[in-house]
Amino acid sequence: MHPVLQSLRRLATGLVTPLELPAPETEARRRRLLAVERNIVLPSKVALTVLLFYALGDTPWFGLPLGSLEVTITTLRALLLVYTGINLAGAGVLCAAGRLPFPVVQWTVFATSLVDALLVGGLVLLGGGTESLLFWVFPLLIVRNAAANPPIWSQLALNLCVAACFGAAGWLDIGLTRQVEEEIEATARPLRLPRADPNLVPLPPGAWNDGVLDLADANPVEDVVLRLAVLVLVSVWLFAVQVLFEKQRLAARETAEFRRREGELRSAGRLAAEFAHQIKNPLAIINNAVFSLRRSLQTGKGDPQKQLAIIAEEVSRADDIIREIMGYGELTDSHVERLDLRAEIERARARAFPEDLGLAVRFQFKPRGPLPPLVMQRRHLNEILVNLFQNAREAMPGGGTVTVTAQQRRDGAVEVVVADDGPGIAPARLARIFESYYTTKQRGTGLGLAIVKNNTELYGGSVRAESELGKGARFTLVFPPTAASTPGA
């Protein structure tokens, strides 16, 4: 490549790189686009179109020959009809946006925004040229596009196209104005005064407009270029400002994520310390029981069975702690499966609500529609469900109902909700409920919900808890489409 071209390429890259951003999430872009276009712009367009049809249809001069401007008026009328048809199609796409691919919605909005700019350009031609107050509609269109679209290059391209529509309208206005002047001059030139008046000063060429004045600006080209430059600068400025704010937002989110990861590492350290502390307690009790048992056997006094029962109880407690620690710490496994969610919920129910215990708590499962298989480790999913079911059961010792619902959302994610009608959770406790070793139970280890959160996030999912005192608790699991496998995949 030629050295000059290489230098220009490096310069362009240096200018563009600071403005590059990672592609925003599709769902966030969809919400932003629909919030502006469907909820604000679409009703405004309907009102504007009705007013334009009323004004053009009820105006006496509409449709009458107006010399060289007749073409412009006829074009505007056709443009308004085309504008209405395109926007009816665009309104249909916006109303059905939830069922259409996002690129279809995005490019439809792009096209209708360009049509808006073309219509305003036609109105500028009819309403007084580039000096018309309609010029200020173009900056409004640019601001609207910047609000509806994220700061990516398609937004800048769209706004530059809007500015180009004004430039085209300006150049067309200049050409039409000059054509009208030429027609007037050509019409007036054959006329002669009956007698020459020596005191009569002839008008210079180009001064005719209605036989008296020139409507053209002293320098219309300069005026169009200046206004066009303003529109381009507004487009670039809005884009750059959004990029800066977006970079700050991403930096803040990255910092928050870094702090969250640091907190997880600190939690892991606390987990190890707490594990040592928790396992030390039953070991100390076992040691005391062994000492008492030995002395009882030597002296023949005391009840050995009581000491053995204490040892067995503490061994069982230590085993529970170790099992939960293993479930929390084992993050990987060599075997994943396509799991039937209905069957796994039933398997977890059998563990958490054994029929032979005669529990006063009722269990209800209400699936909503077909459920896709989940691709994950069976043990992880079972631990998630069992812990949530047991927590709900233990929250209602006097009886109640645990309701489980499951459905596949429109975005492909699978949502499972476990709700109970127990006493609820206090707000202060709700904020810490997923922390390792945080528990409000007398003999709880505080690892159950930490395991739920850990195993869910391992597959890119999320879990959240909602509760009000006296109104029960509600835990919502969301497994993303990457964890859900469509049947036959």
Domain parsing of the chain, residue ranges? 16-258, 261-329, 337-479
For 103-135, b/e burial (b = at least 16 CB within 10 A) is eebbebbbebbbbbbbbbbbbbbbeebbbbebb
∠ Cα 343 346 352 (to 5°): 145
Backbone torsion region of residue 419, taken as left when φ is above 0, otherwise alpha when ψ lies between -120 and 50, otherwise beta: beta
> Which pairing describes strands 400-408 and 361-368: parallel, antiparallel, or unpaired?
parallel
Which pTM value belongs to this model? 0.44
Q: Distance (Å, rounded) from C-alpha 220 to C-alpha 199?
A: 33
How is residue 202 annotated by DSSP? P
**Distance (Å, rounded) from C-alpha 221 to C-alpha 244?**
35
- CA-wise closest residue to 171 among 233, 208, 113, 225: 225
pLDDT of res. 213: 42
151, 21 in Cβ contact below 8 A? yes
CATH number of this structure's domain 337-479: 3.30.565.10
**Gap between the Cα atoms of 394 and 444, Å rounded:** 11
pLDDT of the chain, 489 residues: tens digit per residue:
566 666 666 655 554 444 444 455 667 777 888 888 888 888 888 888 787 777 665 554 444 444 445 555 566 667 778 778 888 888 888 888 888 887 888 888 888 888 888 878 877 776 666 677 778 888 888 888 888 877 667 788 888 888 888 888 888 878 877 877 777 777 765 554 455 455 555 555 544 444 444 444 457 788 888 888 888 898 888 888 888 887 888 788 778 777 777 776 676 666 676 667 667 767 877 887 787 788 778 887 777 787 788 788 778 777 777 776 665 555 444 477 889 999 999 988 888 887 655 677 889 999 988 888 888 888 889 889 988 998 888 888 888 899 999 999 888 889 999 999 888 888 888 888 888 766 766 556 667 788 889 889 888 899 999 988 888 899 999 998 766 554 444
pLDDT at 210: 45
> Which residues sit opposite 362 in a β-bridge?
401
| Three-state secondary-structure class, residue 484 | strand
- The span from the CA of 125 to the CA of 69, in Å, is 9
Q: CA torsion sign, 48 to 50 to 52 to 58?
A: negative
Nearest Cα residue to 335 out of 392, 378, 388? 378
The helix or strand, by DSSP H or E, that contains position 334, with its residue range, turns out to be none
Residue written as token pair 């210079």: 204
The whole-number pLDDT of residue 417 equals 95
pLDDT of residue 10: 67
Cβ proximity of 484 and 412 under 8 Å: yes
Count of alpha carbons within 13 Å of 387, Cβ hemisphere only?
A: 28
Residue 139, token pair as written in the block: 């900056």
26, 100 in Cβ contact below 8 A? Answer: no
Do residues 32 and 40 make contact, with C-beta atoms less than 8 angstroms apart? no
Question: What is the fold of 261-329?
Answer: Helix Hairpins (1.10.287)
Q: What is the predicted pLDDT for the residue at 19?
A: 41
Helix, strand, coil percentages, rounded to 5, for the chain:
65, 10, 25
With tokens 């504007």, the residue in question is 48
* Cα angle for residues 309, 315, 316 (degrees, 5° grid): 90
The C-alpha atoms of residue 229 and residue 167 are separated, in whole angstroms, by 10
